[in-house]
Amino acid sequence: MKQRQSLLAILILSTLSLNAQFFLSPEERDSINKLNQYMHSLMMEKLGITSLRPGRSPDSAASNAANYDESLANPCPELPDVLVTKSGHRVTTPEQWWEVRREELLKDLETEVYGRLPSNIPDVNWTVEIEDKEFVRRTPVIAKKLVGRVDNTAYPAIEVTINMMLVVPANVNGPVPVLMMFGRPSFPAPAQPSASDLEIVNSAFKKMMVEYDPGLQEIFDKYPAYSPITRLPGPNFFEPAPEGDPPSTEQLLQAGWGYVTIEPASIQADNGAGLTSGIIGLVNRGQPRLPDQWGALRAWAWGAARGLDYLETDSLVDASRVGIEGVSRYGKAALVALAFEERFAIGLIGSSGKGGVTLHRRSFGESVENLAGAGASHWMAGNYLKYAAEESNFGRKTACDLGVDSHALLALCAPRPTFISYGIPEKGDAHWLDQKGSYMAAVAAGPVYKLLGAGDLGVTGDYLHEEMPPFNTDLLDGHLAWRQHDGGHTDWPNMKYFIPWASHLLGFEK
């Protein structure tokens, strides 16, 4: 046991320093992988699991190839009813939903799937590091670089600094709705010095260069009009707009919305790092988490909620109209954030797959066993591994033993507007994501939306037999929306549908 603890300490210390680096060498990656494998085996031991079933392979020739036969996709077709309590009573009123059933589902999703938040999470202090006035094409904007420093006085060995960028249009009156997106923050079009200011900068820069290397004076004498720093061309207001859809950020600004980009890796590393760094490592003081504690998806969602804390203090933002967006693994995180943080007003959930909108119990493409493996289990609660257990002290379990599923996570978002977006496999939004399994979950969550007076997809509630509509078909008449576009692994092609839908439901006019 002492040898194991010693190995853990060495790996943790190495990972804490490695995780701060953006580019990792093969040796550094190997160190992180070893730590992940070790922590994964430690969690298995805590749960009493001796063997897990391997995840499915996207290689059709593999012995454990993923299933893409729809006739085999539903080994346990009956979903837990989101409107029947654990005591067997049917929920017929909104009060019963809010006071009883929603709390039951929330607890099950926390304990078994995404993990609960510890009670000792420290505070986050937000500061505006830079505020800049810029132009994004023809739209004047105010951009703020924001930094959220997590109080680490209880464990100074780990620092967590959340990076975020707020961009709002400057040509509108009053606070604006904002869509928070998981991604890498950056200034969209940094303002540049005027010609006269740049001349002063160049003069000082040339002087410093000559002081550093006197030989440069001869070169500057040869080219007396040369300036080392040149001004980039500013926005061309007469330049025609590019063909096709503008970037999502430009579409939001043109519609009078603002946007926020928040960096997930500044909250919790996606390489897992044994979950001994980032906010999870800080809270646990570098020690392994408990089986029911949060994974990276819940940590990213927590970070988004802390970003919302700041937005509630900014007079440029209409905090009652802040949405959350993400694609792929960040689509999973966006859905978790929307479900667990009721202050988010609306969500755009892109290509989220298993762990997101797709039903866990579906055997199609990615499986629960994939998410329970060492490479992805850091997204989930430790308890999630139980549903991939082949041998354990509690027997064998599968996804069919889960008492809750993704339709319940969607139901937690009700009645707030939730737009589910996918692309098509032919363009790269692979079958692996199981678009059909997500559609089934959306249909099954519909009764909760209707109970709370909101519109569902507008189809029957028969999630087993309701046919998924063809791509480019709009199901946008309710608070729960579905659209599969004809593009790839992105929600960009659906942004032009999301913005008017969201503006209408939030009662916003530019």
Domains and CATH numbers, the chain: 103-189+250-506 (3.40.50.1820)
Residue pair 274/11 in contact by the 8 Å Cβ criterion: yes
DSSP 53-111: PPPPBS-TTSTTBPP--GGGS-SS-PPPPTTB-TTSPBP-SHHHIIIIIHHHHHHHHII
How far is Cα 297 from Cα 292, in angstroms, rounded to an integer?
14
pLDDT at residue number 202: 87
Residue of 278, 306, 237 lying closest to 20 (CA atoms): 278
How far is Cα 495 from Cα 476, in angstroms, rounded to an integer?
13
Residue pair 279/151 in contact by the 8 Å Cβ criterion: no
Give Rg (Cα) of the chain.
Answer: 25
Residue pair 202/228 in contact by the 8 Å Cβ criterion: yes
Give the contacts of 47 (CB within 8 A, at least 6 positions apart). Answer: 291, 382, 383, 385, 386, 389, 392
Residue 394: how many other CB atoms lie within 10 Å: 11
pLDDT at residue number 326: 98
Residue pair 177/318 in contact by the 8 Å Cβ criterion: yes
Q: Which two tokens stand for residue 399?
A: 């996804």
pLDDT at residue number 8: 42
Indicate the pairing of strand 176-182 with strand 317-327: parallel
How far is Cα 300 from Cα 275, in angstroms, rounded to an integer?
13
Confidence of residue 29 (pLDDT cuts 50, 70, 90): confident
How far is Cα 228 from Cα 212, in angstroms, rounded to an integer?
15
> Has residue 127 got a pLDDT over 70?
yes
Confidence of residue 224 (pLDDT cuts 50, 70, 90): confident
Which whole-number Å values give the CA distances from 348 to 85, 383, 499, in the listed order? 29, 28, 10
Confidence of residue 488 (pLDDT cuts 50, 70, 90): very high
Give the contacts of 490 (CB within 8 A, at least 6 positions apart). Answer: 327, 350, 351, 423
Q: Is the pTM of this model over 0.85?
A: yes
- φ and ψ at residue 244, rounded to 5 degrees: 80, -170
The percentage of the chain sitting over the pLDDT mark of 90, rounded to a whole number, equals 82
Strands (E), 191-310: 258-262
Q: Which two tokens stand for residue 483?
A: 């659209």
pLDDT at residue number 112: 98
Residue 54, CB-side half-sphere exposure with 13 Å CA sphere: 8
Residue of 312, 310, 318, 307 lying closest to 169 (CA atoms): 318
Confidence of residue 241 (pLDDT cuts 50, 70, 90): low
Residue pair 419/350 in contact by the 8 Å Cβ criterion: no
How far is Cα 69 from Cα 246, in angstroms, rounded to an integer?
37
> Has residue 350 got a pLDDT over 90?
yes
How far is Cα 392 from Cα 42, in angstroms, rounded to an integer?
14
pLDDT at residue number 229: 85
Q: What is the dihedral of CA 14, 19, 24, 29, to 10 degrees?
A: 60
Summarize the confidence of residues 286-291 as an average pLDDT: 95
How far is Cα 35 from Cα 486, in angstroms, rounded to an integer?
40
How far is Cα 15 from Cα 24, in angstroms, rounded to an integer?
11
pLDDT at residue number 90: 98
* Mean pLDDT of the residues in the chain: 92
Sign, CA dihedral 310-315-321-327, equals: negative
How far is Cα 473 from Cα 448, in angstroms, rounded to an integer?
23
Confidence of residue 68 (pLDDT cuts 50, 70, 90): very high
Confidence of residue 21 (pLDDT cuts 50, 70, 90): very low
Q: Per this entry, what is the length of the chain? A: 510
- φ and ψ at residue 205, rounded to 5 degrees: -65, -40
Angle (deg, nearest 10), helices 435-451 and 406-413 = 40
Summarize the confidence of residues 79-94 as an average pLDDT: 98
> Has residue 372 got a pLDDT over 90?
yes
Q: How confident is the model over 308-341, as pLDDT tens digits? A: 999 999 999 999 999 999 999 999 999 999 999 9
Q: What is the DSSP letter of 310?
A: H
Q: How confident is the model over 375-400, as pLDDT tens digits? A: 999 999 999 999 999 999 999 999 99
Tell me the one-letter amino acid at 250: E
Residue 222, CB-side half-sphere exposure with 13 Å CA sphere: 5
How far is Cα 253 from Cα 259, in angstroms, rounded to an integer?
8
Give the contacts of 456 (CB within 8 A, at least 6 positions apart). Answer: 443, 445, 446, 447, 449, 450, 478, 479, 480
How far is Cα 510 from Cα 10, in angstroms, rounded to an integer?
56
Confidence of residue 234 (pLDDT cuts 50, 70, 90): low
Residue of 409, 101, 410 lying closest to 93 (CA atoms): 101
The percentage of the chain sitting over the pLDDT mark of 70, rounded to a whole number, equals 93
From 244-248, 271-275, 402-406, 451-455, the region with the lowest mean pLDDT: 271-275
Give the contacts of 72 (CB within 8 A, at least 6 positions apart). Answer: 363
244 exposure class (CB count in 10 Å sphere: 0-12, 13-18, 19+): exposed
Q: Which two tokens stand for residue 170?
A: 């400057």
Indicate the pairing of strand 161-169 with strand 258-262: antiparallel
Summarize the confidence of residues 65-93 as an average pLDDT: 98
